[in-house]
Amino acid sequence: MMRNIIVATLLIFAGFQVRGQGVDFNFPSFSPKGSISQVVGNTRIAIEYERPSVRKREIFGGLVPWDQVWRTGAGNATKIRFDKEVKIGGQKVAPGHYAILTIPNPDEWVVIINSDTTLYGSFDYDYNQDVARFVVIPNETSRFYETLNFDMELNQHDAALYLSWANTQISFTIETTTNAIIYKLIQEELLTGKNKVADNYAGAAAYLAYRGIDLGDALKLAEKAKDLDKESEWFSSIKIGVYESLKLYDLALEEISQAIALLKRKEDRFNEINQMETEYLRVKELSGN
């Protein structure tokens, strides 16, 4: 019993500052704070958490019991923040700060996004404050994660959030409003011709080309951009890329030739001209001509 009390006391005061002989000592926490912040499309996503380590313990089904609400970290519950509306597990979540809680199970985990960010552990967790709740399937990892780790992977303006600890990993998608907002702009402002800013048309064309969708509309937008600003070769580069994706090599070669002619009318553009001439030879080889 005494040994347990001593260990608990050490854990409580880990990170506590002491003074000796005029020198301050900061003992490191057993669960240091971690954070990640990432701009995903038009949205900033930030996570703050405390990072416990395995330290030769059995984690899931041991330190972290099965089928009980877990703070998903150590100390204070893990927090996540969005500066714009997102969709998680198919459920809309308004901008703001939230706690990430989970219910681990060998076969499936429940992920909970809860509006109470004051939780220490999960002792006062109230499901009535849940804003999203969904199920994910855990995976066994080949890599061993000594310390609890959160990470994000980007995928065309959305993100996959990964939680890994020991040999277990879960992930779920966070969808931003980026694609919906841009697509609405394209439909209502650009394809209708209401907007008169060349760069908006070019940006929308590049967006569609990057996503590999509606390439016919991408060509229309790039052409409109070119009509509004006949002195920019950027718009030609977008069209060339789309033509190549569609295997319309003759049209790509024609566009490259027009871009070279435009560059030759300008001063000190030798590097760009050389690049376009190299591009012409590359596309010509693809065309088989």
Q: Measured on CA atoms in the order 46, 51, 54, 60, is the torsion positive or negative?
A: negative
Question: pLDDT at position 21, please?
Answer: 57
Q: CA–CA separation, 172 vs 174, rounded Å?
A: 7
Nearest alpha carbon to residue 272 among 257, 260, 284, 254? 260
Beta bridge partners of 81: 46, 97
pLDDT > 50? residue 124 = yes
**8 A C-beta contact, residue 104 and residue 66:** yes
More confident residue, 195 or 289: 195
More confident residue, 279 or 144: 144
Please classify residue 81 by burial: count the beta carbons closer than 10 Å to its beta carbon, then call 0-12 exposed, 13-18 middle and 19+ buried: middle
Q: CA–CA separation, 243 vs 223, rounded Å?
A: 12
243-266 pLDDT, tens digit per residue, is 998 999 999 999 999 989 988 888
pLDDT > 50? residue 2 = no
Q: Would you list the DSSP string of 98-109?
A: EEEEEE--SS-E
Q: CA–CA separation, 48 vs 152, rounded Å?
A: 13
pLDDT > 80? residue 10 = no
Q: Which of 72-86, 94-108, 275-289 has the lowest mean pLDDT?
A: 275-289
Question: Residue 182 CB: number of other CB atoms within 10 A?
Answer: 19
Structural domains in the chain plus CATH codes: 1-29 (no CATH), 31-175 (no CATH), 178-287 (1.25.40.10)
Question: Residue 120 CB: number of other CB atoms within 10 A?
Answer: 10
Confidence of residue 33 (pLDDT cuts 50, 70, 90): confident
Averaged pLDDT score across all residues of the chain: 88
Whole-model pTM: value is 0.77
pLDDT > 50? residue 208 = yes
**8 A C-beta contact, residue 242 and residue 225:** no
Q: Which residues in the chain belong to E strands, given as ranges? A: 17-20, 23-26, 33-40, 43-50, 78-82, 86-88, 91-93, 96-103, 109-114, 130-136, 139-155, 158-176
Above pLDDT 70, what percent of the chain?
Answer: 91
Q: State the helix-helix crossing angle for 198-211 and 234-245, rounded to 10 degrees.
A: 30
**Which tokens is 139 given?**
């995976």
Non-local (6+) Cβ contacts of 192 within 8 A are none
> CA–CA distance from 124 to each of 56, 101, 128, 217 (Å)?
29, 12, 12, 52
Beta bridge partners of 37: 46
